[in-house]
């Protein structure tokens, strides 16, 4: 069996979101805010927990972290719903990109990404790491900066 292909990191993004701020914004914005920022799957996941604001805040942080890792702003080339947080078959956080973020990732040669989420009652944090296959890395790295 041939050795696995090496990959390189082409982007890293991190973001922290205040859980109390998210709770306040959800109370004030209601369903229309939820639907403008989160996909139906994300809303179902968050609403099914004992502390929805913590889970919404972690997903908001993940969306910002993904945009930072790609070197773009969410309002400049993508909508909030272009980054979607779910779970992989093993229950780990998983990131799916759509629209402008998906196009940007493809342009940069992103072949894989990792997502880490954590939260307390006060803060949520997310870190996104973007990877690209080793071949053609110099062009991808130059384009990502």
Chain segment 12-65, per-residue pLDDT in tens = 999 999 999 999 999 999 999 999 999 999 999 999 999 999 999 999 999 999
Structure confidence at residue 135 (pLDDT): 55
More confident residue, 134 or 71: 71
Domain total in the chain:
1
- Write the CA distances from 29 to 5, 26, 35, 55, 97, integer angstroms: 46, 5, 10, 17, 25
Domain limits for position 19? 7-144
Query: What is the rounded average pLDDT of the residues 103-124?
Result: 95
Structure confidence at residue 125 (pLDDT): 98
For the beta carbon of residue 90, count every other beta carbon within 10 angstroms.
6
Structure confidence at residue 55 (pLDDT): 97
Is position 1 within any domain? no
Is position 2 within any domain? no
3 state SS of 64: helix
What residues does 86 pair with on adjacent strands?
Answer: 94
Tell me the CATH number at 138: 3.90.470.20
Is position 78 within any domain? yes
Is position 43 within any domain? yes
More confident residue, 77 or 71: 71
pTM, entire model: 0.86
H or E element in which residue 20 lies = helix 19-37
CB 45 within 8 Å of CB 55: yes
Is position 83 within any domain? yes
**Chain centroid to CA 27: how far?**
23
Query: Quick check: 96 pLDDT over 70?
Result: yes
Structure confidence at residue 3 (pLDDT): 55
Query: Could you give the CA distance from residue 139 to residue 142 in angstroms, rounded to a whole number?
Result: 5
Is position 133 within any domain? yes
């Amino acid at each position: 069996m041939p050795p696995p292909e090496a990959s390189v990191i082409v982007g890293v993004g991190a973001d922290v979101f205040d859980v109390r701020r998210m709770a306040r914004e959800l109370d004030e914005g209601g369903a229309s805010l939820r639907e403008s920022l989160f996909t139906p799957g994300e809303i179902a996941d968050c609403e099914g927990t004992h502390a929805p604001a913590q889970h919404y805040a972690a997903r908001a942080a993940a969306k910002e972290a993904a945009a930072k890792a790609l070197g773009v702003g969410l309002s400049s080339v993508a909508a909030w719903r272009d980054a979607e947080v779910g779970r992989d078959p093993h229950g780990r956080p998983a990131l799916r990109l759509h629209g402008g973020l998906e196009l940007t990732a493809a342009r940069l040669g992103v072949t894989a990404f990792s997502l880490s989420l954590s939260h307390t009652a006060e803060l949520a944090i997310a870190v996104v790491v973007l990877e690209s296959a080793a071949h053609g890395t110099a062009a991808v790295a130059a384009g990502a900066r």
